[in-house]
Amino acid sequence: MNSRRDLVGGPSASVFPPRLAGINQGLSLPPSVKISYDFTRVVSGGSEYYANFGRFDHFVSTSDQRRQIFVVSDLNVSPLWEINIGVGIGTTTATDRPIVNVILGRRFDLGVRHSAID
Mean pLDDT score of the chain: 77
Domain residue ranges of the chain, discontinuous segments joined by +: 2-106
Helix (H, G, I), strand (E, B) or coil at 38: strand
How many Cβ atoms sit within 10 Å of the Cβ of residue 44? 23
Closest CA to 50 of 83, 82, 17: 17
**C-beta of residue 47 within 8 angstroms of C-beta of residue 32:** no
Q: Is 102 exposed, middle or buried (0-12, 13-18, 19+ CB in 10 A)?
A: exposed
**β-pair partners for 118:** none
- In tens, the pLDDT along 46-105 reads 999 888 887 777 788 888 888 899 999 999 999 899 999 999 999 888 888 899 999 999
pTM of the model: 0.67
- In tens, the pLDDT along 4-58 reads 343 344 455 555 555 566 555 666 767 788 889 999 999 999 999 888 887 777 7
Q: What is the largest CA-CA distance in the chain?
A: 46
Q: CA–CA separation, 16 vs 35, rounded Å?
A: 9
**On the CB side of 47, how many CA atoms lie within 13 Å of its CA?**
4
Q: Is the pLDDT of residue 118 over 70?
A: no
